[in-house]
Structure formats: structure tokens, C-alpha cells
Amino acid sequence: MSNKERVLLIGVGLIGGSVALAIKKEHNAIIIGYDVKLDNCQLAKKLQIIDDYTENLQEEALNADLIILACPVEKAEAFLEVLANLPLKRDVIISDVGSTKGRILEKAERSFNKEVAFIGGHPMAGSHKAGPGSARAHLFENAFYILTPSRNVKTEKIEKLKNWLRGTKANFITMDSSEHDLVTAVVSHFPHIVAASLVRQVENHASKNEHVNFLAAGGFRDITRIASSSPEMWRDIVRHNQSMLLSLLDEWMIEMNDVRHLIRDGDSDLIHDYFFGAKKYRDSLPVRAKGAIAAFYDLYVDILDRPGVISDITTILFQENISITNIRIIEAREDVYGVLRISFQTEQDLEKARKSLQDRGYDTYISM
């Protein structure tokens, strides 16, 4: 058997694949994939994201120096049960990439003895695409990567995991699971619920008025983009972070009741101050920093209604070897018309595209 260290990657999708690529950048380790979707493993091997894959999870786990659970949180819990019944290596490190940490930390602490180090992980970056074909080694660069070690995990184990993951070029933060679940509920989980509820409200009105869908195609669609995330993933997140989300919902209902009174009373100064306060805080947030919700690297291009204009733009980007993740004509917005929105994987691609198009006479702008 090779003397190289071995990594078992359970879940070979966007996040798992990106972690694997980041590890490959810095370590001469053998990465073995396991996924309930065999196609993911086959594609990942073809793309050289993993070295090989296995259909025998238990056998491969026995040889692993690092095990990464890159799967939905409820499936990760089930895999922990499987791993807990195996004679794993004494110095193995197990981590995950889930968006909630409380329940899985409790599960790990019940399941493993002190020799097995479970360190919860949450890379707070992602993409609006899925699958190993979208994996990128730089996906987590400059993003926050939160680590939540279980009790009795020694500092050197945490540092060893950071070393495994140093190719991500992420900013590591260590906190306990309850603090993690509170922070992520506030800045990520709860906003997704609000976005989904806004979409549902518009859907109710769309069934009664045919103009709603058309007008929602612009700005409304933009501000609710996070509602397009995986329903399965958000089902699990809500179930795992239930208490935090219920508390935030109670706070939100108080806030909305205050807003209702504000609107009912119609005090011009108070209404202005409410929106001014929101704008002031929002504008103070870091502009392009990677936070809890995946950033959108969008470039807006003013276009004239003439044949071939979209083909011309995509040809320019192709010639400059700039990859795009999405392109859409914005048909209706309150402030502009004839706008093409182009989405990119990275800020670097966005800036390169912006310069290339501006050099060729196109008016472009980035929405802040």
C-alpha cells in the first residue's frame, strides 16, 4: 500500500470537489471519493478532482487519514453512525461542511472516543451551480471557513486540519457550535426564509393578476435569488437550526409589526429615518467580501435592440478566455431597459470582462 496519506471524500459535489482540489494544490495525498450518485464520482475522476472512487465506504474509511463529509447535514449524521462502528485510524480527523453544527457535534461527541477528532467545518462560500463539474480550487479563497471542534479535541488537531485545508486560502475562524448556529441563522438561514416567503407571496398574487409575473422578472427576481437554493438542503437546515430560527422569526414579527405601525401612522420623518438607517448599515458592509451567502459576481451591460449584439458580447468574452456562469436579458426594471446581466465565477473574471467590454465601447456597471 502507498505511504501517501489518504483522504476519503464522502459527497463529491460542488463543495466536496472544491475542497478536494484545494487539498490537491498543497498535498501529495490520495483522494478517494464516495457518493450515492456514482455519476458524480466518475465525472470527478475524469476531471482529476479525485484520484479514484469507491463503492465500499467502510473499507476505505479504515485507511483514511482525513474524512470529509461533504453531504447534506442529515446524511452526514447517518454517515457518522456508520463511521462510529468502524476501527478507524487512531489519529484520523473527521470534518464536515454543513451549514448547521449543533446536532452533528452532539452526534459526534456521543459516537466517538477521544482518539477520533471530529472538527465541524463550514466553508462560507459557494456557487449557484452544483455538481463536481462546477468545483473550483479557489472557491473558498478569502471566504470565512468556520471550524467547530468537538470537546477534548487538541489544538494540534485543529492546526493539522487547517494545514490540510490551507489550499483553500480561506480565513479560518474557530467557535463553538451554538455561536456558529446563531450567527449563520442571522445572516444566512433566516434571509433565505424571508426570500422564500416573499416569493410565495408574489406567487399568490400572480394567480390573480397576469401582470405580476412580468414585472417580477426584474428587480424582484434579483433580490430573491437566494430562494432558488436547493429545497432539500434548506429543509435539513431548518430542521437542524429550528430553535434559532423560531427565535429570529419572533423578532422579525415584532419588527414587521413596528413597520406596520410606521406605515399606518404615515409620519414622513419616521418613515425616512427607517429607510435611511437600513441604507446606512447596508452601505457600511464590505462590498465584495465573501460572507455567509454566496456572492453574485454580476456585470450589467447596456445593450441596444439590434441583431447580433448578444453574440458579439459572448464572442468578446470567449476570445478573452473568460468563463461565464449565467447570462440573462433583463426585460423590465424600474430604472433601466435593455440590460444584459452576465454572471461570473470570480471577481477577477468580472473585472476582466468589464474592462474588455468597455474597451470595445460597451457601457457596463456593477450593482452594489
Q: Is the pLDDT of residue 127 over 70?
A: no
Q: What pLDDT digit, counting tens, does each position of 64-91 carry?
A: 999 999 998 889 999 999 999 999 998 8
Q: Report DSSP letters for 107-133, one per residue.
A: HHHHH--TTSEEEEEEE----SS-SGG
| Closest to 233 (Cα-Cα) out of 128, 140, 93, 148 | 128
Q: What pLDDT digit, counting tens, does each position of 236-285 carry?
A: 889 989 999 999 999 999 999 999 999 999 999 999 999 999 999 888 87
Q: Is the pLDDT of residue 118 over 60?
A: yes
| pLDDT at res. 74 | 85
Distance of CA 40 to the CA centre of its chain: 19
| Closest to 169 (Cα-Cα) out of 136, 135, 143 | 143
pLDDT-derived band of residue 234, with 50, 70 and 90 as boundaries? Answer: confident
List strand residue ranges (DSSP E) for the chain, in order: 6-10, 30-34, 52-53, 66-69, 93-96, 117-123, 144-149, 171-174, 297-302, 324-330, 339-344, 364-365
Give the span between the Cα atoms of 209 and 217, in whole angstroms: 14
Q: Is the pLDDT of residue 343 over 90?
A: no
Alpha carbon distances (Å) from 13 to 39, 109, 134, 253: 10, 27, 8, 37
pLDDT-derived band of residue 291, with 50, 70 and 90 as boundaries? Answer: low
| pLDDT at res. 367 | 63
Give the span between the Cα atoms of 226 and 194, in whole angstroms: 10
Q: What pLDDT digit, counting tens, does each position of 13-22 carry?
A: 889 999 999 9
Average of per-residue pLDDT values in the chain? 86
Q: What is the DSSP letter of 186?
A: I
Domains of the chain (ranges, CATH numbers): 6-175 (3.40.50.720), 180-284 (1.10.3660.10), 297-365 (3.30.70.260)
| pLDDT at res. 338 | 66
In terms of average pLDDT, the best of 133-147, 270-284, 312-326 is: 270-284
Average pLDDT of the residues in 292-301: 69
Per-residue exposure over 55-79, b if at least 16 CB sit within 10 Å of its own CB, e if not: eebeebbebbbbbbbbbbbbbbbeb
